[in-house]
């Protein structure tokens, strides 16, 4: 079998490599006892370079093209060997093909959160991930530093080391940039370009160049994002006092739509009115104090406040205007008991002077059609 292998390789005079994989970076051309014939044809395709190694030393590097292996086309190797007969006999050398295409969609990401100090949020933890593309820029350096004597070197053999370099430089660059967290998304492009320029010197030591670096996302921990969402919601709501009154009014409208007015609906409606008044006063006071201005004025002297019996439960107090609105909505009838300061006992709302005219503005029921 060894004889036939020797004979077959002696007859082959074309040295080339067609890559059928997507991750091969270096491939060594197989030759019987590493013997190459004088005058053999070397074909180097685009996105490849061929590296000749003689006795463990890199002799020549060929760019894309077709080369007959003669004395004229192998000046360095000829000088090293010093042959007297112009390669009339086979010479021994190893041929490594190095893939110089772009290896794209390489993932990078933080295994653990990055601790940073933000001017607005204080100490925070960030996670980040993205992709990068790289290629072999110096084939001789790559073989010396990374591939070595491996006859088949694939991308997986270097990605872990490159990822560690990226994370170290990325963390340092992000901290030095001092970009506020809320402004990071607007600076992904600039940050990507800055980090690519910063990590390339480290990659160049291995004969590799980063051609594209992309930051896809920088995120906060879930609990911080939830708090930030609440803060954003407060900003969208705006005036909390008006929002609370609006919500209370919606609750009153829904309560009024409940036919018959059950006990729970009546109590809920009364509590809605009371909460609307109290929350409105509370938010107005808090906003005034937060702005450094005095709180709002107290209630107008002499304004009467009434308690109401709704479904057997006491509710209130409500001012006259609020109770008038409840009367017009049909939630309070003339038989509803009310009480205010100065009354000896509970009285029917229809007999209280403050509400006698309230029922006059309510139209009577529509008569049934014949």
State both tokens at 90.
Answer: 């086979």
CA separation for the pair 259, 272 (Å, rounded): 18
pTM above 0.85, yes or no: no
Length of the chain: 370
User: Is residue 326 packed enough to be buried (19+ CB in 10 Å), middle (13-18) or exposed (0-12)?
Assistant: buried
Sequence ranges of the domains in the chain: 2-99, 103-225, 238-291+304-361
The pLDDT assigned to 88 comes to 46
Break the chain down into helix, strand, coil percent, rounded to 5. Answer: 40, 25, 30
The pLDDT assigned to 102 comes to 95
Check: CB of residue 135 under 8 Å from CB of residue 209. yes
The pLDDT assigned to 197 comes to 92
The pLDDT assigned to 46 comes to 93
State both tokens at 135.
Answer: 């290629």
Residue with tokens 């192998």: 74
DSSP secondary structure string for all residues of 283-310: HHHHHHHHTTSPPPPPPPTT--EEEEEE
CA separation for the pair 358, 328 (Å, rounded): 7
Please choose, from the candidates 286, 297, 337, 296, the residue with its C-alpha nearest in 3D space to the C-alpha of residue 316.
337
Per cent of the chain over pLDDT 70 is 67
Helix ranges restricted to H, 156-205: 156-177, 188-204
Terminal-residue alpha carbon distance, the chain:
115
Check: CB of residue 240 under 8 Å from CB of residue 257. no
The pLDDT assigned to 201 comes to 94
State both tokens at 179.
Answer: 């970009």
CA separation for the pair 326, 323 (Å, rounded): 5
CB neighbours (10 Å) of residue 83? 15
- Which residues in the chain land under pLDDT 50? 1, 3-4, 6-11, 82-89, 262-267, 291, 293-295
When the candidates are 3.40.30.10, 3.30.479.30, 3.50.50.60, 3.40.50.720, the CATH number that belongs to 103-225 is: 3.30.479.30
């Amino acid at each position: 079998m060894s004889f036939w292998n020797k004979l077959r390789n002696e007859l082959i005079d074309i040295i080339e490599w067609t890559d059928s994989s997507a991750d091969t970076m270096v491939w060594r051309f197989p030759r019987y006892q590493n013997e190459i014939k004088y005058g053999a044809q070397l074909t180097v395709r685009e996105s490849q370079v061929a590296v000749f190694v003689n006795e463990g030393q890199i002799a020549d590097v060929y760019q894309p093209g077709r080369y007959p292996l003669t004395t004229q086309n192998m000046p360095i190797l000829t000088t090293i060997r010093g042959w007297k007969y112009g390669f009339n006999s086979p010479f021994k050398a190893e041929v490594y093909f190095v893939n110089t295409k772009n290896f794209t969609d390489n993932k990078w990401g933080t295994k653990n959160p990055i601790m940073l100090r933000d001017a607005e949020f204080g100490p925070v933890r960030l996670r980040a991930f993205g992709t990068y593309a790289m290629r072999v820029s110096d084939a001789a350096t790559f073989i010396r530093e990374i591939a070595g004597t491996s006859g088949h070197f694939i991308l997986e053999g270097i990605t872990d080391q490159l990822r560690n370099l990226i994370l170290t430089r990325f963390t340092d660059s992000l901290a030095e940039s001092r970009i506020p967290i809320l402004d990071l998304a607007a600076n992904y492009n600039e940050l990507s370009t800055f980090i690519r320029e910063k990590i390339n010197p480290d990659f160049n030591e291995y004969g590799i160049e980063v051609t594209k670096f992309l930051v896809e996302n920088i995120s906060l921990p879930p609990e911080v994002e939830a708090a930030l969402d609440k803060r954003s919601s407060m900003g969208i709501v705006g005036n909390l006092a008006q929002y609370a009154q609006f919500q209370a009014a919606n609750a009153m409208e829904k309560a009024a739509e409940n036919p018959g007015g059950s006990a729970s609906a009546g109590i809920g409606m009364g509590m809605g009115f009371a909460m609307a008044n109290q929350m409105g006063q509370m938010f107005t006071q808090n906003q005034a104090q937060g702005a450094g201005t005095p709180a709002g004025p107290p209630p107008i002297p002499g304004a009467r406040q009434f308690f109401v019996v709704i479904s057997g439960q006491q509710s209130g107090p409500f001012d006259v205007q609020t109770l008038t609105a409840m009367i017009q909505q049909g939630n309070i009838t003339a038989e509803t008991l009310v009480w205010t300061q100065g009354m000896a006992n509970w009285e029917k709302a229809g007999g209280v002077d403050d509400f006698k005219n309230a029922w006059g503005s309510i139209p009577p029921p529509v008569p049934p059609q014949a």
